[in-house]
Amino acid sequence: MLTNIKVVAVLALALTLFPTVASAQTKVGFVNLAKVIEKAPQGESAAKKIEAEFSPRSNALRKKQKKIQTLEADLEKNALVMKASELSKKEAEITKLKRSLKREADEFNEDINLRRNEKLKVLQEVVREAVNEVGKENNFDIILAEGVLHVSDKADITDLVLKKLNSK
């Protein structure tokens, strides 16, 4: 009973203060972080560096895949004229190459994901700094990012953040 009275008293106080809170102008902005990360020059640069770093391994994996396909085609073509021992030897070789390729591909994917996550972490920090700078320069009280259901063009400062990132 006493807690109900406290709740009512707090609500009454909040309602009496609400008009003054509502009349204070709060400048709110919104940033589409996915768009900023996608279009930021720092993100494009990081993606190019990752591609250059992993391109040789990617090419080696493709070559290994083609070699396996060639061996499989050769085996299929000549299986009827091969001796049983020769046939099983070729099948074992192909199986061994496939296992090796799968292991290398898994390692490649893990390594590239780790590198992307490292670069993304750095990019997120750069974006956060740019958002803070834009907020201070334009006197925003609050800048929202995710979880917003609607935002007007007037409150969307994504392009301002991209300009800031382009100038860095």
pLDDT, tens digit, 9 for 90 and up, residues 4-14? 455 445 545 55
User: pLDDT value at position 146?
Assistant: 85
- Rounded Cα–Cα distance for residues 103 and 108 (Å): 9
Domains of the chain by range and CATH?
A: 23-166 (3.30.910.20)
Q: What pLDDT shows up at residue 70? A: 95
Share of the chain above pLDDT 70, in %: 86
pTM of the model: 0.67
What pLDDT shows up at residue 53?
Answer: 95
Per-residue model confidence as pLDDT tens digits over 70-89:
999 998 898 888 888 998 99
Q: Region 38-47: what's the mean pLDDT?
A: 90
Angle CA 7–13–14, to nearest 5: 90
Neighbours of 163 (CB within 10 A): 12
Closest C-alpha to 141, from 17, 18, 25: 25
